[in-house]
Chains A and B, each alone.
Chain A
Amino acid sequence: MLGPDTAAYLIIAAFLFTTGALGVLIRRSPLIVLLSLEIMLNGGNLALIAFSRHFASGDGQIFAIAVMAVAASEVVVGLGLIVAMARKHLDLDVDKLSSLRG
């Protein structure tokens, strides 16, 4: 395999996942939380594809495409929720959305 080996790709994937997790935890705008979720999913995708190449099996790529479909679905529902929140004049701040808190 030309270039860096699988471990280098996996470390990039770990960095991406952590960056996304940090974004989900520290940002309060639901739009940016969704964008950070995309980064997390892409970190997972990169690891799947790196392992797919490592073991020379296409199954990891199939899984990555399924993850893409799930990410697209999640964006549709998430953005639908955010637009519904904005139409009800709720604050777009995940810390203030506490009506469901027990």
Chain B
Amino acid sequence: MILASASNVLVWMVWVVAAAACLASGVAVISFSNPFYSALALMGNLGSLAVLYLLLSAEFVAAAQVLVYAGAVMVMFLFVIAYLGGKADAPWTGHVAVQTWAAVVAAGALLVEVVLVIAGQADGHLADAADIQSSFGSPAEIGRLFLTDQLLAFEVTSVVLLVAAVGGVILGSHSRAATPEGDDDAGA
């Protein structure tokens, strides 16, 4: 189609900005030597991903992404980084180990592989997206799926969260119980 509609151009512009922000902040996360900056870059990454989710008509997931990830999870990260102090290894400075070059080659190979597979299917299975109704991705639709077709996944997810909460409590109380014995950080 040569004559693209105005809304199509707008969606393309939003997509390009969000995708570029997403990739740039992703690279920033693994490049900063200060974990605090990395966490802030990850927040930007999550925000631009939420924009991409909105473009894919996944309104509820975009909202959950901002609330759960950029809100709760990242605040927990920032608390721990503030507690431990903002020190980390600086990548790409001084002597670069063989392991690093091997990692870059492995990640590059993975990327080339996946992109080739996607490009090979771009005119095949991935050619035409199905039409959606206006309720697609709405909270009502997600809730209906959760309580009917995907009830098992819903219950298993709640068990996973419960186990993680118990694990977090055990990890926290274990390191506190070790203190009175004086074998590690007594008085700290």
Verify B49–A23 contact, CB threshold 8 A: no
Q: How far is A95 from B14 in the complex, measured between Cα atoms in Å?
A: 41
Residues of A within 8 A of B60 (CB): 61
Q: In the complex, how many angstroms separate the beta carbon of A33 from the nearest chain B beta carbon?
A: 10
Verify B23–A16 contact, CB threshold 8 A: yes
Verify A68–B69 contact, CB threshold 8 A: yes
Verify A76–B167 contact, CB threshold 8 A: yes
How many residues of B sit at the interface, in one of the four size bands? 35 or more
Per-residue CB contact flags for chain A residues 31-67 toward chain B (1 = under 8 Å, else 0) read: 1101110110010011001101111101101111110
Q: How far is A61 from B64 in the complex, measured between Cα atoms in Å?
A: 11
Neighbour of A49 across the interface among B39, B61, B132, CB < 8 A: B61
Verify A75–B174 contact, CB threshold 8 A: no
Q: How far is A8 from B15 in the complex, measured between Cα atoms in Å?
A: 10
Closest to A79 in B: B80
Given contacts A19-B30, A21-B110, contact A39 B184 (CB under 8 A): no
Q: How far is A4 from B174 in the complex, measured between Cα atoms in Å?
A: 51
Verify A55–B118 contact, CB threshold 8 A: no
Number of A residues with CB within 8 Å of any CB on chain B? 74
Is B111 an interface residue when CB atoms closer than 8 A count as contact?
yes
Partner-B contacts on A (CB < 8 A): 1-12, 14-23, 25-29, 31-32, 34-36, 38-39, 42, 45-46, 49-50, 52-56, 58-59, 61-66, 68-77, 79-84, 86-89, 92-93
Known pairs A2-B7, A21-B110, A68-B69; list 11 more (Cβ under 8 Å): A7-B122, A11-B115, A14-B115, A14-B118, A19-B29, A22-B103, A23-B30, A71-B69, A76-B165, A83-B172, A84-B171
Q: Which 6 A-B pairs have the closest CB atoms?
A: A73-B164, A23-B30, A25-B103, A3-B11, A80-B171, A29-B88
